[in-house]
Amino acid sequence: MPTYNQLRQAFGLAPKTSFTAITGESTENFPSDPLLTKGNEINDPNSLDFVQLLDRDGNVIQPGTEEASEDVVTGVRRTTVAARLKAIFGNPNNIDAFTGMVSEKHLPGSDLGELQNAMWKKQFTALRDGDRFYFGNDGNLTIIRLSFGIDFRKTLGDVISLNTQVKRGDLEANVFKAPVD
């Protein structure tokens, strides 16, 4: 089984040299906290306590309230993931592939980290390129475009504009997203 950094390198990504580089957190050290057993923080159940709960707008919610059971969307734990990874694995090169992959900071606008994104992208590209029925693999499309000026590279917004009285400039660049007020 490859390690996390070996798998990153297999997908053309640079290895991560610290736990904070993997998780995107600010520290890989346990905090000085009287509720944690000094020197054995990783085995202390208090290390997983939530110290802050937040709603979708980033407002702090008090634990134990009815509001907490309904509105909480994220929580801040007493210790960072990076600190717990360091306590378990010791060195970033020792992290198993799956644990490292799911510990990565998510890419902006995504639920995936850098490694998962690279894996999915490679897999779906291979599926597309290996599909004999995928329209982009048809060499005749280039001949049709050059000979007749008919181009298959249109967005949904282009198709809407071509088939209605709406000008392309009056539509959003991505017609699946509503304009922000």
Write out the chain's pLDDT in tens, 181 residues: 899 999 999 999 999 999 999 999 999 999 999 999 999 999 999 999 988 999 888 899 987 777 777 888 888 899 999 999 999 999 999 999 999 999 999 999 999 999 999 999 999 999 988 888 787 778 888 888 888 887 878 889 998 999 999 999 999 888 988 877 6
116 and 149 share one domain: no
* Phi/psi of residue 36, nearest 5 degrees: -100, 145
**Do 94 and 145 lie in a common domain?**
no
Residues 38 and 91 in one domain: yes
What is the rounded distance in angstroms from the CA atom of residue 71 to the CA atom of residue 79? Answer: 23
- Is residue 69 domain-shared with residue 18, that is, in the same domain? yes
Whole-angstrom Cα distance, residue 131 to residue 139? 14
Residue 180 maps to a domain: no
Does residue 41 sit in the same domain as residue 77?
yes
What pLDDT does 77 receive? 92
**Predicted local distance difference test score (pLDDT) of residue 82:** 97
> Is 177 within a domain?
no
The total domain count for the chain is 2
pLDDT at 80: 95
Distance from C-alpha of 24 to C-alpha of 94, rounded to nearest angstrom: 18
Its domain, for residue 62, covers 4-129
Q: What is the pLDDT of residue 144?
A: 86
Residue 88 and residue 42: Cα distance in Å, rounded? 8
Bridge pairing between strands 50-54 and 74-77: antiparallel
- Please tell me whether residues 144 and 123 are part of one structural domain: no
Is there a single domain that holds both residue 124 and residue 143? Answer: no
The pLDDT score that the predictor gives to residue 29 is 94
pTM above 0.85, yes or no: no
Quick one: pLDDT at residue 53?
Answer: 92
